[in-house]
Amino acid sequence: MSEETKAKSVEAVEEKLQNLSTKETAAAAPADKKADHPEHAGEEDAEGKTAPAAEGEKKKKKKKKSKKKKGSHGISQFYTDGVYPQGEWMDHPGDGNLKRTTDEEYRYLDNKNSSAWNDYRKGAEIHRRVRKMAKEKIKPGMKMIEITELIENGVRAYSDTNDTKKAGMGFPCGVSLNHCAAHYTPNAGDKTVLNYDDVMKVDFGVHVNGRIIDCAFTHTFNDKYDNLLKAVKEATNTGIKAAGIDVRLTDIGEQIEEVMESYEVELDGKTYPVKCIRNLNGHNIKDFQIHGGKSVPIVKNGDTTRMEEGETFAIETFGSTGKGYVVGSGECSHYAKNLSAPANAPIRLERAKKLMTTIENNFGSLPFCRRYLDRIGEDKYLLALNTLCKAGLVSDYPPLNDTRGCYTAQYEHTILLHPTRKEVVSRGDDY
Ligand SMILES: [Co+2]
């Protein structure tokens, strides 16, 4: 992407933020927040954490906004107390967990982690706002590069910092199309254009102090895919409901599978069963580490590992009209530092050594894509990057494809397993 078009999309985002800011001031933030979370607005009100709401308060806010000229242009300008809205609350399943919701001890334990939870909530609020903006702006005929820049620049503009290791993209914005289920984002020069009949998985991460929100939806224009989308959305919500402290991973997969595979979709006169993509999984999330080592299957797989108190999980499910199995192929865009690489693997190539330092300085262990290297001024890095992959210091994540001609869909949320209850932190009024 040329410097000029990049500047243009940054302008567009800034203009958008400006508009948002005016709209929010006029409508008063508390009312807006309620509209954002119809399912659990009452709860937040009851706890009085995020909904102040009195007339006087509105006026005060209005005044503050009109005076405000310098300072943050990011999300924090809308939350001047630094407290971000909570997600949807649900009880941990099982009778053994009943005491958690009321027991003082669990509440005490939970409070010790409150700053981490707040970071997650901030990332989730950025995610909700950016995806809302994206859904309004994405139209057939747009280049995939424009779509990803729109979303990524949106996240950056809200992030209150230019330091990519403090906050910003948690991983590259995936825009995988049709039979491609995951890990496609355009590289520079990619001329792919979004078509009216495409099924696009928009999967992007937002991190705040390394706390990563991993959340995705499927975007379509043609309503013939509605049943496919509905199957996957319900499957993901089933996984979210089933998840919780002490729950076995295989049991979550089993429930997801049952719901997903109860659907079929008719496309152009032919009926297809909706299949789970059985080799794609949800996962736990650790600080700065998108895949924390546990996988949440979307089929019954016999894994009796249990979810534990305090963990964060991405619950994601994928449905397909194809085989229900993906393989990696095609030009790679996604990479990440390999955390289990041997500590002192020798790098002979000087250029590769330098590139590794650049990666560590800019992304740490967060996944990145080639465009992220471009935007920090790297060029002609492919040989060096491939050298790092071969040496096992960097892992590559090629696009994951089901059979050509089929359609795949995805929905994903991040959930926090508080000692008390679970919080679907990335929940919005959209999904
Ligand atoms: Co994920």
316 is in an annotated binding site: yes
Tell how far CA 37 is from the center of its chain: 18
Q: Of the ranges 34-48, 85-99, 123-137, which one carries the lowest mean pLDDT score?
A: 34-48
Tell how far CA 296 is from the center of its chain: 16
Residues designated as active site: 203, 214, 283, 291, 316, 412
Averaged pLDDT, 323-331: 97
Instruction: Give the pLDDT of residue 71.
Output: 55
CA of 210 relative to ligand 1 center, distance in Å: 15
CA of 422 relative to ligand 1 center, distance in Å: 18
Question: Minimal CA–CA distance to 298: which of 356, 237, 354, 339?
Answer: 237
* Model pTM score: 0.83
Q: Which long-range contacts (CB under 8 A, 24 or more apart) does 95-103 make?
A: 96/246, 97/244, 97/245, 97/246, 100/245, 100/419, 100/420, 100/421, 101/420, 101/421, 103/420
214 is in an annotated binding site: yes
Instruction: Give the pLDDT of residue 22.
Output: 39
Angle at 374 between CA 393 and CA 289, to 5 degrees: 40
* Burial profile 58-89: b = 16 or more Cβ within 10 angstroms, e = fewer: beebeeebeeeeeeebbbbbbbeeeebbbbbb
* Span 73-90, pLDDT tens digits: 899 999 999 999 999 999
CA of 98 relative to ligand 1 center, distance in Å: 29
Bridge partners for 213 per DSSP: 206
Query: Is pLDDT of 28 > 70?
Result: no
Contact 200, 218 (CB under 8 A): yes
